[in-house]
A = this chain, B = another copy of it.
Amino acid sequence: MTKYTLTYFDVEALGEPIRMLLSYGNLDFTDNRIDYEKDWAKFKTAMPMGQVPILEADGKVMYQSLAISRYLARLVGLYGENPLEDYEIDNAVDNINDFRAKLAGAQYEQNAVAKEEKFKLLKAETIPYFLEKLDAIAAENDGHFALKKFTLADVYFTGMSNYLSLMAQQDITANYQNLKKVVENTIATPGIKEWVEKRPKKV
């Protein structure tokens, strides 16, 4: 059986959907966490694109968190069964990823004035816009993001939900019952449930 090693920071963020997919598929993995302050500088130059997470499997180094997540989703049966089903999942993943990118654009802004402007716009417009749209999609899909069933899109959102809330400076599911349902459905899923119970309590 393939042994996987996930290398990422000691946080959920982009690594957590991968950890959840590995756990869901009952795949054997080492959760290798690197210390950002102490070890990142020396790790960074050795990474294929200067980034983590990476996933090692049978000597192969995989990188790009979403490409890894898609790969694992295919392995464990959380992608579609035909091109149109795949599209529905990809579409939902892209919507979630757009929201992540908007938040990250403010969170990692280096210019203090621009950062304040960006957070103001996020709070006034972007965050409610995305949360309403995503909540409506989850409502249409009975507490899922696509195909009215549990897919990669649900894992992608749930794995990143604490990170998204951290960046948004608010609990993103608090006022959105259907988004809350996605998270609840996902963390109650066998494999993921056990992982969430035992994982380090670090966002």
Q: List residues of chain A with CB under 8 Å of any chain B CB.
A: 49-50, 62-64, 66-68, 70-71, 74-75, 83-84, 86-87, 90-91, 93-95, 98, 101, 105, 109-111, 113-114, 117, 129, 133
Contact = CB atoms under 8 A, between A and B. Distances in A.
Given A84-B71, A114-B111, A117-B110, A91 B64 contact: yes
Q: How would you classify the secondary structure of chain A's contact residues: helix, strand, loop or mixed? A: helix
Contacts of A109: 114
A146 to B, nearest CB: 10
Nearest to A50: B129
Nearest to A63: B91
B87 A67 contact: yes
Given A111-B117, A114-B113, A67 B94 contact: yes
